[in-house]
Amino acid sequence: MLNIYQLEQQIAEQMQATQVPGLTLAIVKDQEVIYARGFGVTSVEDSSLAITPQTLFRIASVTRPLTGTALMRLVEQGKLDLDRPLKHYIDWLTFHEAGIEEQITLRMLMSHTSGLRTAGEHFGPRHPEALEAYIRTALPTFELTAPPGRFWAYSNPGMNLAGYLAEVVSGQPFTRLMQELVFDPLQMRRTTFDPLVAMTYPLAQSHDVRDDGTLCVQHEFAESVPYYPSSFALSTVLDLANFASMQMNSGSFQNQQVLTPASVQAMQTKQVSTYTLSDAGYGLTLGLDTYKGIPIVEHKGSISTFGSRFVMALDERVAIVLLYNRINAAFAVDHLISTMLDQLLDLPAQFPGPQPIEPDTTVWPLYTGSYLGNWRGLLTISVQNAQLCLDMNGKTLPLHALKRDLYFGKIPESEDRLSIGFPLEGSEPAEYILVDTLPCQRIERASEIVPDLDQWQAYCGTYVGGVDVLTFRVEDGQLIIHASSDQKEVTCIPLDTARFACDWGVFEFHVAQDGSVPWVTYGQAYKIMRLDA
């Protein structure tokens, strides 16, 4: 049974300890909202309002299953086919690699198996034609992470393309289509993509931390029409509770069949493994996992400093929706959700995790080598003293087998465990590995880079992106990055004269003709502009 007093105390204490200004929560059981409450405020400044279950938040990637629902309705209408190449619908479509438009399908876009890399743009064009312009001009510049269908690789551009595909076959703007196919039937009365509509309701703001440790509002609200389908809906926990009710009731909401049971089942069926310790996977715009043996369907998101969690235990007909307006690594949102699931589902306090097996050492030669990941940095798989090991940016972890192609390592000075998947193609050496679901590609290591400290000094300074403020400095012959959001630092490993790897991923400095450094690219996806240029 849910201990509401204990839960509310835990939320309030966590928010105060980690400087989270506002949070809202709804819990659904058997089609009924059994709990809904807001905590804190929309803003720490003078425009502040108390958070309620009706307060709007940016929901980031929780937008995807909403977009996915519209796409499945178009599939039901015969306007789209999950397995037909995209070229059939958009004859001018091109990608960075020639001929890919004849291979990628809607199913691949919705399951993140298209091979398209991710990218993000928190501040972009607002005009209605911007989504098509993005597909015509920006999409062809993105190199593939991997061949289509190879493995799961999260992609904002892929979901944006799926949203544009919906525009093409319906003949309607994406936002109008979402209103007609999803928001209106589910009575999601405040959900919108338009911040000019959202500002007429109570609206949460994202927050930064000043140098003195106090909070301030981000006075530039993230907005980019090309990324609407993947990341930019604004919603409330009560509106999302309606969406959860439909998903948990075979597509029916208040006696109206919004999706067929077959479409809902397709969305909730594993299309691809993500190589995690819990054997998680991804359906069609929904993540699939288990918690203490209970199947979970979920999605999470983050944008600016907004965080969102959407969790459904389908067999128990329970859903949790949680939105908050400042992401902080110290804010134990996973623990909060675990506490609620434990109490709502009467689960044991302890549950045995996956147990190691005897490894198949015959495939180790296919695994060993160096890999580079945009979000993981520099990694090396090696065999040391008859033990498969992972070196991750200078830290070595012994690896233990869970399956022939799935291993885990314990993170030093932590109880956390890291999953490493090896998606092999026949008997060839692994070209990619997945480290906690994030792809890393095999590379040939160059000879050791001799530090050019004068050039590194030119990189030093403060850079501002959509999520954080990063400061680079040289100390004791090493390049150090400091993040203002959580006051953490990381040491970099040079890959060449302009690229560096670290635990946060790969950073590449752009050097202009005059020798200045106006920006640094993070993960080949995000341009972080220099503040002191």
> pLDDT tens digits, residue range 84-132?
999 999 999 999 999 999 999 999 999 999 999 888 888 899 998 999 9
Checking if the pLDDT of 447 tops 90, the result is: no
Region of 287 (left: φ > 0; alpha: ψ -120 to 50; beta: rest) is beta
What pTM was computed for the model?
A: 0.92
Residue 121: predicted pLDDT: 84
The predicted model gives 172-178 an average pLDDT of 97
> pLDDT tens digits, residue range 6-52?
999 999 999 999 999 999 999 999 999 999 999 999 999 987 999 99
State the sign of the Cα–Cα–Cα–Cα dihedral 475, 476, 481, 484: negative
Residue 281: predicted pLDDT: 97
The SS3 assignment for 392 reads strand
Cross-strand partners of 474: 479
Instruction: Fill in the DSSP letter of residue 121.
Output: -
DSSP H helices in 323-385: 333-345, 364-367
Residue 413: predicted pLDDT: 73
State the sign of the Cα–Cα–Cα–Cα dihedral 311, 317, 318, 321: positive
Choose among 349, 366, 481: nearest CA to 430: 366
Residue 533: predicted pLDDT: 57
Mean pLDDT over all residues of the chain?
94
> pLDDT tens digits, residue range 469-507?
899 999 999 999 998 877 789 999 999 999 999 999 999
> pLDDT tens digits, residue range 333-362?
999 999 999 999 999 988 888 899 999 999
Residue 64: predicted pLDDT: 98
Cβ atoms of 204 and 45 within 8 Å: the answer is no
The predicted model gives 437-457 an average pLDDT of 88
Choose among 104, 158, 154: nearest CA to 373: 154
Least confident residue range of 168-182, 291-305, 482-496: 482-496
Cβ atoms of 464 and 531 within 8 Å: the answer is yes
> pLDDT tens digits, residue range 383-394?
999 999 999 999
Least confident residue range of 24-28, 187-191, 281-285, 442-446: 442-446
Checking if the pLDDT of 187 tops 70, the result is: yes
Domains of the chain: 4-60+175-344 (3.40.710.10), 69-170 (no CATH), 361-443 (2.40.128.50), 453-530 (2.40.128)
pLDDT class for 467, splitting at 50, 70, 90? low
Checking if the pLDDT of 182 tops 80, the result is: yes
